[in-house]
Amino acid sequence: MSAIATILPRELARRLAAGEELVLLDVREPFELAICRIEGARHVPLSELGERAGELDPERATVCVCHHGIRSAHAAGMLAERGFRELYNLAGGIERWTVEIDPSLRRY
């Protein structure tokens, strides 16, 4: 099983701006996505991840995102058990992202 790293919003923003091809996996519910989202994130609710993990590439670096970082930590754990090799959990979730990186996003 792979280790799951924590990535801070500023580090994620830096890596995205540098053009790194990271998969942003948003595991929040659809109603949360309607409130705010990180542009380019792929949406698979945590409740569906077990059955839909096959849609994702285990060879690609994947950053799991939720509201505060708890559900995304569970998602990263599920993916690690399925052989994903480079996994990150966004520290503080989209809440911290809105505060530190993109205050134009609506908070909830």
**Would you please indicate which residues are annotated as catalytic (active-site) residues?**
66
Per DSSP, the three-state class of 85 is: coil
Q: Give 50: exposed, middle or buried? Use CB within 10 Å, 0-12, 13-18, 19+.
A: exposed
Q: Where do the DSSP E strands lie in the chain?
A: 4-7, 23-26, 42-43, 62-65, 87-90
